[in-house]
């Protein structure tokens, strides 16, 4: 059975009001997600936040189980946190580095991760190395193989960058890092929800992601996967009475599993909503989602490249639902503003936030499709596109 687009659109009230091609920013939520969040907020308002949390404990537990099903891992390998950046940071800042240690990363690395890498390198004397790209523009696996030796203490890779349609070959990275015994931290913020992700098949030890993008969950939600083999070896950068237990006046023990990376206080309604979003994605089917997203993004790239003065900028051997482009003589910010005025949501990805990528020389319009989008919405974007200035 193919994916039921009509049904997905009926489940998504936002489809009635906008052509939402900003799924890499934040997707439109299915009503089931919004309703679950509102229901819990109402419960809190009627019975009290702690009492509502106690009543809804099973729903929160369901979120761990749903995320574990999504990634094909164990429930105790999942930490629920506020966003992908916090998830990534909790993993990264748990690691120790010494002068001479090397950290390998890619030109696609997300700006916040890159800043954290530089921050820790400055503090510890470790060195950050950006891997070469291959002829397709994805990370060069041969270069990774060449550089991996005993001085490499971490390989940090962004699966799908924020600024292009590229899908990095994560499973090939995993094969090499496993063989070398080096921890592999995968930023799957833009891939989770649009591609099937299986952490065992990829071979990553740590994976960070957010709820609001292709998973269609609430804002302010994210999660971290930590392989059981690594969890007990990592000391979180900070602890509280949830991630640790105060066992005697001068003693504490750190919680087992991934929950050592969580904090006590959190947005219970949003966590519940995240679980509903993940179950919804699993119900649609990640393989079917990937097929539909690939089909729509190929259509969008083709249609854009037929427009005078429009240049599609994506590179990579495998491409995904993120489509970046520029329009001659018009700033990308102005293009996005004009599209928004015509009822088409896109966003702008800035060169300033992609400084490891030598190809990122200008701000680009980013249109990101999801399975509930349609060919008609792609037409709508192309019709609303401002006409390129003659040079």
Q: Given the rule CB under 6 A, which residues bind ligand PLP?
A: 83-85, 110, 158, 161-162, 187, 189-190, 210, 222
**Residue 30 burial (10 A CB sphere; 0-12, 13-18, 19+):** buried
Cα end-to-end span (Å), the chain: 49
Least distance CB 160 / ligand PLP (angstroms) = 6
Least distance CB 119 / ligand PLP (angstroms) = 16
On whether the CB atoms of residues 187 and 113 are closer than 8 A, the answer is: yes
Q: Which lies closer to ligand PLP via its Cβ, residue 210 or residue 324?
A: 210
Q: Which lies closer to ligand PLP via its Cβ, residue 84 or residue 128?
A: 84
Give the residue from 297, 278, 281, 299 showing the smallest Cα distance to 289. Answer: 281
Q: Which lies closer to ligand PLP via its Cβ, residue 86 or residue 303?
A: 86
Buried b (16+ CB within 10 A) or exposed e, 110-125: bbbbbebbeebbeebe
Distance CA 63, CA 211 (A): 11
User: For residues 146, 147, 149 and 150, what is the CA-based torsion angle, rounded to 10 degrees?
Assistant: 180
Q: Which residue has the tokens 């804002």?
A: 219
Q: Which lies closer to ligand PLP via its Cβ, residue 162 or residue 345?
A: 162
Least distance CB 210 / ligand PLP (angstroms) = 3
Least distance CB 351 / ligand PLP (angstroms) = 15
Q: Which lies closer to ligand PLP via its Cβ, residue 183 or residue 211?
A: 211
In 182-341, which residue ranges form alpha helices assigned H by DSSP? 199-202, 228-231, 268-284, 286-305, 332-341
Least distance CB 161 / ligand PLP (angstroms) = 6
Kindly state the tokens that stand for 59. Answer: 């729903």
Residue 228 CB neighbour total at 10 angstroms: 14
Q: Which lies closer to ligand PLP via its Cβ, residue 43 or residue 170?
A: 170
Least distance CB 110 / ligand PLP (angstroms) = 4
Least distance CB 102 / ligand PLP (angstroms) = 22
Mode of pairing for the β-strands spanning 127-130 and 102-105 = parallel
Q: Which lies closer to ligand PLP via its Cβ, residue 59 or residue 191?
A: 191
On whether the CB atoms of residues 112 and 187 are closer than 8 A, the answer is: no
Q: Which lies closer to ligand PLP via its Cβ, residue 56 or residue 84?
A: 84
Q: Which lies closer to ligand PLP via its Cβ, residue 190 or residue 267?
A: 190
Least distance CB 88 / ligand PLP (angstroms) = 7
Distance CA 126, CA 95 (A): 12
Least distance CB 83 / ligand PLP (angstroms) = 3
Distance CA 94, CA 187 (A): 16
Concatenated DSSP letters of 146-190: HH-STTEEEEEEESS-TTSSB---HHHHHHHHHHHT--EEEE-TT
């Amino acid at each position: 059975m193919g994916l039921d687009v009509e049904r997905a659109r009926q489940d998504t009230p936002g489809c009635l009001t906008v052509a939402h091609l900003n799924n890499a920013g934040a997707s439109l939520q299915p009503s089931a997600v919004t309703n679950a969040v509102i229901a819990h907020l109402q419960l809190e308002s009627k019975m009290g936040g702690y009492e509502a949390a106690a009543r809804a404990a099973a729903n929160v537990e369901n979120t761990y189980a749903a995320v574990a099903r999504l990634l094909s891992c164990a429930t105790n390998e999942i930490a629920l946190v506020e966003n992908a950046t916090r998830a990534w940071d909790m993993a990264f800042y748990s690691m120790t580095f010494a002068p001479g240690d090397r950290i390998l990363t890619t030109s696609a690395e997300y700006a916040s991760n890159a800043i954290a890498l530089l921050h820790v390198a400055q503090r510890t004397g470790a060195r950050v190395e950006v891997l070469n790209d291959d002829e397709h523009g994805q990370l060069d696996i041969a270069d990774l193989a060449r550089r991996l030796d005993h001085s490499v203490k971490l390989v940090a890779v962004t699966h799908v960058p924020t600024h292009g349609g590229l899908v990095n070959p994560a499973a090939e990275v995993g094969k090499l890092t496993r063989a070398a015994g080096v921890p592999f931290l995968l930023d799957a913020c833009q891939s989770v929800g649009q591609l099937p992700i299986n952490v065992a098949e990829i071979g990553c030890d740590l994976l960070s992601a957010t709820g609001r993008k292709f998973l269609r969950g609430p804002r302010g939600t994210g999660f971290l996967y930590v392989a059981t083999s690594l969890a007990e070896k990592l000391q979180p950068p900070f602890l509280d009475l949830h991630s640790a237990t105060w066992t005697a006046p001068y003693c504490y023990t750190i919680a087992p599993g991934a929950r050592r990376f969580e904090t006590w206080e959190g947005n219970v309604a949003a966590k519940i909503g995240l679980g509903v979003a993940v179950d919804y994605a699993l119900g649609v089917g990640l393989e079917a989602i990937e097929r539909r997203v690939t089909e729509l993004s190929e259509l969008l790239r083709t249609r854009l490249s037929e427009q005078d003065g429009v240049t599609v900028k994506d590179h990579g051997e495998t491409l995904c639902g993120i489509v970046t482009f520029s329009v001659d003589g018009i700033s990308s910010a102005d293009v996005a503003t004009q599209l928004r005025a015509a009822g088409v949501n896109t966003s702008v990805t800035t060169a300033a936030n992609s400084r490891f990528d030598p190809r990122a020389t200008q701000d680009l319009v980013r249109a990101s499709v999801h399975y509930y989008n349609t060919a008609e919405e792609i037409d709508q974007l192309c019709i609303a596109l401002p006409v390129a200035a003659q040079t």
